[in-house]
Every structure is written in structure tokens, then in C-alpha cells.
């Protein structure tokens, strides 16, 4: 049995949702549409933070975005789990700076 907290279990659940609603054949996996949906979810996350909504509301909007991200990996046929770990390895090598009183981790290029 797959660990319900594993990425594989989450991917399988999102794939089952896509299959249930036939996303592949009804435009639900079209990438520009998915980007628009993710943008909408980011707006809802922003509203939760800027309008003082509850942590539960914020968590639900973040879950919506996460589901869309996993679904985009399914639609575009890439391994999000692998990409996550590859990117984390790169991020661990980057330096940080304080910019305007906040930490920033990036590939800084001095001019």
C-alpha cells in the first residue's frame, strides 16, 4: 500500500480526478488554461493573506494550487517529484542576502 502522505499517492489521486472528469479530452490539461487557473489560485492565496482570512482558508487555497501543480505535471508529462529534488539541490548551493529587511536566496549577479 502506498503511503497516503507520499507524492506518489497525491499524484495518483490527482490523476484519478483528471480521469474522472476526462480532463485530457475536454481541455482540462491544456497548459495555458492551467496557468490561468494557477494565477487565479495565487490571487486567492494573496487575498487570504492581505485580508486576514483564517489559516484554514489559506491552507485550502494552497492545497488548490498544489493540486493544480501536480495536475500540470501530469498534463505536461514531467516528473514533479524529481524536478523538486533537483531544484532543492540547486537552491541549497545558493547564497542569501538581506534585501530591504528580508532574506533572499538567489543566484546573485554583481554588476
Read off the pLDDT band of 34 (50, 70, 90).
very high
The pLDDT mean for the chain works out to 95
Q: Whole-structure pTM over 0.95, yes or no?
A: no
Pick from 85, 82, 87, 93: nearest CA to 105 = 93
Distance CA 100, CA 59 (A): 28
pLDDT of residue 63: 98
Q: pLDDT at residue 1 above 70? A: no
Q: pLDDT at residue 20 above 90? A: yes
Domains and CATH numbers, the chain: 7-79 (1.10.287)
Q: pLDDT digit string (tens) for 71-107?
A: 999 999 999 999 999 999 999 999 999 999 999 999 9
Distance CA 11, CA 17 (A): 10
Amino acid at each position: 500500500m502506498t503511503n497516503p502522505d507520499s507524492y506518489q499517492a497525491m499524484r495518483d489521486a490527482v490523476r484519478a480526478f483528471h480521469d474522472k472528469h476526462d480532463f485530457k479530452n475536454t481541455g482540462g490539461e491544456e497548459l495555458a488554461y492551467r496557468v490561468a487557473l494557477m494565477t487565479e489560485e495565487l490571487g486567492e492565496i494573496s487575498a487570504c493573506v492581505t485580508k486576514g482570512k483564517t489559516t484554514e482558508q489559506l491552507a485550502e487555497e494552497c492545497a488548490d494550487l498544489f493540486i493544480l501543480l501536480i495536475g500540470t505535471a501530469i498534463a505536461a508529462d514531467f516528473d514533479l517529484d524529481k524536478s523538486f529534488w533537483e531544484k532543492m539541490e540547486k537552491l541549497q548551493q545558493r547564497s542569501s542576502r538581506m534585501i530591504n529587511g528580508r532574506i533572499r536566496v538567489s543566484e546573485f549577479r554583481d554588476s
